[in-house]
Structure 1
Amino acid sequence: MTALPTAVPAVFLDRDGVLIEDSGYPHREADLVLLPGATEAVRRLNSLGYTAVIVTNQSGVARGLFTEDQMHAFNALLVRRFAARGARIAAVYACPFHDEAEDPRWFHPDHPDRKPNPGMILRAIAEHHIDPARSFLIGDKASDLEAAKRAGMPGFLFEGGNLDHFVRELLGG
């Protein structure tokens, strides 16, 4: 009988406004501006054993501002930028659905993945063998914190500044 792998702690991170500048539907390479301390924070969390997972609402796809492929390419670029600085993002979960979608493929009145719903977090927990009791979320909106609460974990509001300083304080030094 094979033993199950031990569940790992994770940090769930919103993308726009936490890791990168929220420039209004960022999706081009020129839009990828890392916030101060973002890579250092993820590196710190990685070194403490946390799996880093991005959970991001991306209604720009539903609104017709960019394509699903552009969204995935931008997220892949972000993961590579972090990796180049020694910070590992294990996965990116993005929800392109919205109740005001221009494209009917992306219309949903209340998609289970769209924060404040916890779908992206719950899928990540299942797919990456994450222990929600040892995990938390950092977001910049009430909907992020509500998604964490609905997933059974604490959420912390990042209101700007240096993310690494915020994480260091959060973890007690």
Structure 2
Amino acid sequence: MKMVILDRDGVINRDSDDFVKSPAEWVPIDKSLDAIALFTQAGWKVVVATNQSGLARGLFDMAALNAMHAKMHRLVNQAGGRIDAVLFCPHMADDDCDCRKPRPGMVREIAARFGVKPETLPLIGDSLRDLEAIAELGGQPILVKTGKGGKTLQKGGLPEGTLVFEDLYAAASYLIDRSQ
């Protein structure tokens, strides 16, 4: 089974330093929906793994998060794609949970749910914590320059073997071409 894990904010939709708190604020990045459609049409499973500490901070509630994800699913479906699962961490950084990236809990959960080995998975993100979550388990870290990706690249210190692309569409095209 071919599968990819995507971070959400800064990869699929525009990120905000003030958090994405509502469906109106959830705006897709150019060509990101088309990229997910590419994966889907090439037979890949697409799973989103996202830190959502805005829940713990009280910036939005579960109804708002569900509405954002419903919008994401609807727009992806309209573009010809599919998201097979969305996992999120609702905790703050100091809550010491295993699910908040850079810890690998969500990646482990995804691998267990879909019966795949985590080391076979690519994870596409825009922050160092995304890359560290997959690198710890031996998977393929992929950085996109959208969202916070440009700043992440400038800071350096990326896990060994990290691939870098302009955006999700470029990363999807590369992974799909390489898998055929």
1:120 to 106, 117, 125: 106
Work out whether residues 120 and 140 of structure 2, in 8 Å CA contact, stay in contact via their aligned partners in 1: no
- Contact 1:10–1:131 (8 Å) recurs in 2: no
TM-score, length basis structure 1: 0.83
Distance in 2, Cα, partners of 1:153 & 1:41: 20
Q: Is 1:165 equivalent to 2:165 in the alignment? A: no
| Alpha-carbon separation, structure 1, partners of 2:44 and 2:116 | 9
**CA distance, structure 2, for counterparts of residue 21 and residue 56 of structure 1:** 13
How many residues were matched structurally? 158
Deviation digits for residues 87-124 of structure 1, max 9, x if unmatched? 10001001010145xxxxxxx2x210000011111111
Name the counterpart of 2:151: none
Aligned equivalents of 1:10 and 1:97: distance in 2?
A: 26
**Aligned partner of 1:141: which letter?**
S
For 2:93 and 2:131, locate their aligned partners in 1 and report how far apart those are by CA, in whole Å: 20
Cα distance per residue 1:66-87 (max 9 Å; x no partner): 1123212211221121112111
Report the AA paired with residue 168 of structure 2: L
TM-score normalised per structure 2:
0.80
Q: Pairwise CA RMSD of aligned residues? A: 1.8
Structure 1 counterpart of 2:171, one-letter code: F
2:7 corresponds to which letter in structure 1?
D
Alpha-carbon shift at residue 170 of structure 1 (Å)? 4.8
Identity percentage of aligned residues: 35
Q: Which runs of 5+ in 1 are unaligned?
A: 1-7, 101-107
